[in-house]
Amino acid sequence: MKRYIRSTLVVGAAVLALAAPGTAAHAVSPASAADSTVAPACVAFSASWRYTFVTNDCSTTHTVRVVYGDGTQVPCREVAPGATATFPGYGTTGNTVGGLALCTEAGAA
């Protein structure tokens, strides 16, 4: 019974995070804009302190990375059409998620 309740809460939290307002924000900090391209509007994110969910509603696959306010670098991830990828959240130390950037072949990790 505990396992069912726990899994229900986890799924519910994920659904709420994806449905949160402001998921279509795509701003990228000026420092990272010089070496990357902003992801298209059909690739959206929902950020919380623990996870950042990136959903691809485009008709093509995109390789993206999350841009963090403090410059934290995370590996690029390929997100297929209709799929969601999970990245680290912004944490509890005041960091922010500034947006999404497309990865180039040379920039992909």
Q: Is the pTM of this model over 0.75?
A: no
Cβ proximity of 68 and 27 under 8 Å: no
pLDDT digits (tens, 9 = 90+) for 39-71: 999 999 999 999 999 999 999 999 999 999 999
State which fold the 2-102 domain adopts.
Answer: Immunoglobulin-like (2.60.40)
Question: Which range, of 4-8, 20-24, 34-38, 67-71, averages the lowest pLDDT?
Answer: 20-24
Query: What is the helix (H) or strand (E) element at residue 89, kind and residue range?
Result: none
3-state secondary structure of 41: coil
Q: How confident is the model at residue 104 (pLDDT cuts 50, 70, 90)?
A: confident
11 to 16, 20, 25: CA distances (angstroms): 9, 14, 23
User: Could you tell me the residue ranges of all domains in the chain?
Assistant: 2-102
